[in-house]
Amino acid sequence: MKTRTFDANATSGDSPFGDLPVWDLSHLYAGQDAPELKRDLDWLETASRDFAAGYEGKLASLDAAGLLEAVQRNEKIDMIAGRIMSFAGLSYYQKTTDPERAKFYSDCQEKITNYTAPLVFWMLELNRLNDDHLERLLEQNTDLARYKPVFDRLRAMKPYQLSDELEKFEHDLSPTMGSAWNKLFDETMAGLAFTVNGEELGLEAATTLLTEQDRSVREAAAREIARVLGQNIGLVARVHNTLTKMGEIEQRWREYETPQTPRHLSNHVEPEVVEALRNAVTSAYPRLSHRYYAMKAKWLGLDKMQVWDRNAPLPMEDDRKIGWDEAKGTVLDAYSGFDPKMAELAQPFFTDGWIDAGVTPGKAPGAFAHPTVTDVHPYVMLNYLGKPRDVMTLAHELGHGVHQRLAAEQGEFLSSTPLTLAETASVFGEMLTFRKLLAAAKDDAERKVLLAGKVEDMINTVVRQIAFYDFEVKLHDARRGGELTPDQINEIWMSVQGESLGPVFEFMDGYETFWAYIPHFVHSPFYVYAYAFGDGLVNALYAVYEEGDAGFQEKYFDMLKAGGSKHHKELLAPFGLDASEPAFWDKGLSMIEGMIDELEAMDS
């Protein structure tokens, strides 16, 4: 079976929201049998072997020019491997239930793991270089010095390295370790079927019903999600048990201080900064989520909220569906209002096949922006269903895309932004879109709906994600004591839900299984705090913007262009901000609190 060749002008034309765009993956490769793909796979195998033959055991003897050449050759290998896996991965996520696409993805992963196995020496040998020797080489060559952040990140892993043989062994095992369990989870979630009021739906469509105006529909969807997750809870618990055990083994062998340490290292963020964020948010639960949901219960005429009421629209909210063209116009206008350059950077996503927006059978749920490699462009995936939150999701993912385009000029090794900073442009794009809609509100009722929606989004981004983080911390700690039953994992989930959502909530039987469909726990352990980090950071940034900071736009674009070449302290300094100060997080949380104050005032 050949991979479909995607037409840049193709659309999913049967959508009730207008013609929804489909990816044109030919910008990567024309198909699974494309000669360019075979050429690149062959090149990768040869280039990796030649690189090892030329440099293994010899890095310490290289001069500055020789080390620069080695870095650039390694970067080219990384780019070609990234292009191949981007194509295979994006094809797979379009239809995870297609066995041909799943096989192609697995085969590419296995080939690249095998071909790049000779490169394992690279990080190990670099980290054996004497600090003073490496520093002298960097001082001698400005082009080499540009890669200092790459060396710094690699050398941060030095205390946790295993022997050369064990590192090679782990590399060879990788396709059958975490990634294999990730695929099992993805394929299971994509294959689930939910029947609500006689209609069979996938996970994305079923969870979207939790935002319907009709409370009986929301309840039916919540109970059906609980039923189906309950039927599959054993398998998902097996995935989590295995991955958390793998994490514990990795921690023990590498002597990581905590299960979170590798995430903090990859995010280039200090553990104490994350702890300050976590503590600031959890102490604010009563002022934020508890207070807001108590207000919302009154608006809905309820004494107690059920889980299917958490994201319910307000009674006065318009239930209309938003067409694709309107969503596109709203986001581009908001971006242009900040700076026309931002809208220009977003425009090709709509016109050149860089977005896949429709909800189709087997498609992975959720949304993401994938940067691919720096000589191509990012791709955005959505599951667009015409909800106001879908417009905000579009604004969010386009923010990522703009960020990734700007950072691409740093090159393959320096463009990748740590997760904590990767959420900056996405959340900022949401904020721009929200502020534009709020300014255009025709009356207090519409303003209230918009404000409430934004508060809920921020609670979902900050409070909910920190609760997720606490769930993961407790899950990994509990797993040290042995295999966890589904009921034990359910108990951990419920322990953080009540604390974060507040006393106005009652929890239906079955809600205890809702941890099972969250992909971040499987794909990216402890990723979730990055959302709260990004939201707090953007709230603080936006406050500076509203204060009329001179040259804000230019400084903002410079920050995005920096990609992964600078630490968060250096990036925020031009704005007078410092995330290592506890007061920084309070500043961000106070913006949410201010919006809740405004909503309370409207009720008085």
Architecture of domain 324-460+530-566: Orthogonal Bundle (1.10)
With H, G, I as helix, E, B as strand and everything else as coil, classify residue 383.
coil
Q: What pLDDT does residue 366 have?
A: 85
Query: Number of C-alpha atoms within 13 angstroms, CB side, residue 129?
Result: 27
Contacts 24+ apart (CB under 8 A), 154-158: 154/123, 154/126, 154/127, 155/126, 155/127, 156/265, 157/123, 157/127, 157/265, 158/127
Answer whether 459's CB lies under 8 Å from 294's CB.
no
**Average confidence (pLDDT) over 96-120:** 94
Paired tokens of 533: 């980090």
A 10 A CB-CB count for 355 gives 28
Domains 192-317+461-523 and 324-460+530-566 share a fold: yes
- Counting beta carbons within 10 angstroms of the beta carbon of residue 313, is it exposed (0 to 12), middle (13 to 18) or buried (19 or more)? buried
Lowest mean pLDDT among 18-22, 238-242, 371-375, 576-580: 576-580
Question: Cα dist. 90→77, 82, 372, 434 in Å?
Answer: 20, 12, 9, 29
Average pLDDT of the residues in 448-464: 92
**Bridge-partner residues for 474, per DSSP?**
none
509-565 tens-digit pLDDT: 999 999 999 999 999 899 899 889 988 888 889 988 988 878 999 999 999 999 999
Distance CA 51, CA 28 (A): 24
Cβ distance 403 to 428 under 8 Å?
no
Per-residue pLDDT tens digits for 367-409: 999 999 999 999 999 999 888 889 999 999 999 999 999 999 9
SS3 of the chain: helix, strand, coil, percent, to 5 = 70, 5, 25
Q: Distance between CA 80 and CA 41 in Å, rounded?
A: 8
Q: Which residues make Cβ contacts (< 8 Å) with residue 393, sequence separation at least 6? A: 367, 382
CA distance 411 to 374: 6
Amino acid present at 319: D
What distance in Å separates the CA atoms of residue 224 and residue 50, rounded to the nearest whole number?
Answer: 55
Q: What tokens appear for 556 in the block? A: 């903002």
CA distance 576 to 31: 48
The amino acid present at 225, given as its one-letter code, is I
Contact 314/444 with Cβ under 8 angstroms? no
* CA atoms within 13 Å, Cβ hemisphere of 373: 20
**Which residue type, as a one-letter code, is found at position 406?**
L
- The 8-class DSSP code of residue 258 comes to S
* C-alpha to C-alpha distances, 529 to 281, 365, 484, 585, nearest whole angstrom: 11, 20, 24, 13
> CA-to-CA distance for 351 and 486, rounded, in angstroms?
46
Decide if pLDDT at 1 tops 80: no
If 0-12 CB within 10 Å is exposed, 13-18 middle and 19+ buried, where does residue 13 land?
A: exposed
Q: 192-317+461-523 architecture in CATH?
A: Orthogonal Bundle (1.10)
Q: Answer yes or no: is pLDDT of 250 > 60.
A: yes
Please give the full DSSP string across 517-570, using - where no structure is assigned.
G-THHHHSTTTTHHHHHHHHHHHHHHHHHHTT-TTHHHHHHHHHHTTTSS-HHH
Tens digits of per-residue pLDDT, 421-439?
888 899 899 999 999 888 8
Q: What are the φ and ψ backbone dihedral angles of 571, each rounded to 5 degrees?
A: -70, -35
Q: What sign does the CA torsion over 268, 140, 131, 53 have? A: positive
Q: What is the predicted pLDDT for the residue at 14?
A: 57
Span 289-303, pLDDT tens digits: 999 999 999 999 999
Tell me: pLDDT of 96 over 70. Answer: yes
The two structure tokens encoding residue 275 = 């702890």
Binned at pLDDT 50, 70 and 90, residue 567 comes out as confident
For residue 3, pLDDT beyond 60: no
**DSSP 8-state class, residue 46:** H
Pairing state between β 379-381 and 355-356: parallel
Domain boundaries, the chain: 21-176, 192-317+461-523, 324-460+530-566
Helix 444-461 × helix 424-439 angle, to 10°? 170
Please, are residues 398 and 349 in contact by the beta-carbon 8 Å criterion? yes
Q: In this structure, what token pair is assigned to residue 137?
A: 């080489």
Residue 25 CB burial class (10 angstroms; 0-12, 13-18, ≥19) = buried
Beta bridge partners of 194: 201
Angle between helices 529-546 and 552-561 (to 10 degrees): 150
The C-alpha angle with vertex 543 and arms to 537 and 544, in degrees rounded to 5, equals 95
Architecture (CATH level 2) of domain 21-176: Up-down Bundle (1.20)
Q: Residue 204: pLDDT band by 50, 70, 90 thresholds?
A: confident
Are 354 and 65 in contact by the 8 Å Cβ rule? The answer is: no
Tokens of 550: 């001179």
DSSP bridge partners of 333: none
Amino acid identity, position 281: V
Nearest Cα to Cα of residue 559 among 402, 348, 413: 402
250, 251, 252, 278, 382 from 258: Cα distances, Å: 11, 7, 9, 16, 34
Mean pLDDT across the stretch 178-195? 90
Token readout for 58 is 């010899």
pLDDT at res. 597: 95
Statement: residue 335 has pLDDT above 50:
yes
Mean of the per-residue pLDDT values of the chain = 91
Q: Give the pLDDT mean for 24-34.
A: 97
Instruction: Answer whether residue 10 shows pLDDT above 80.
Output: no
Question: Smallest Cα–Cα separation from 382: which of 340, 327, 307, 437?
Answer: 327
137 phi and psi, to 5 degrees?
-65, -40
% of residues, the chain, pLDDT over 90:
72
Token digits of residue 211:
């935002």
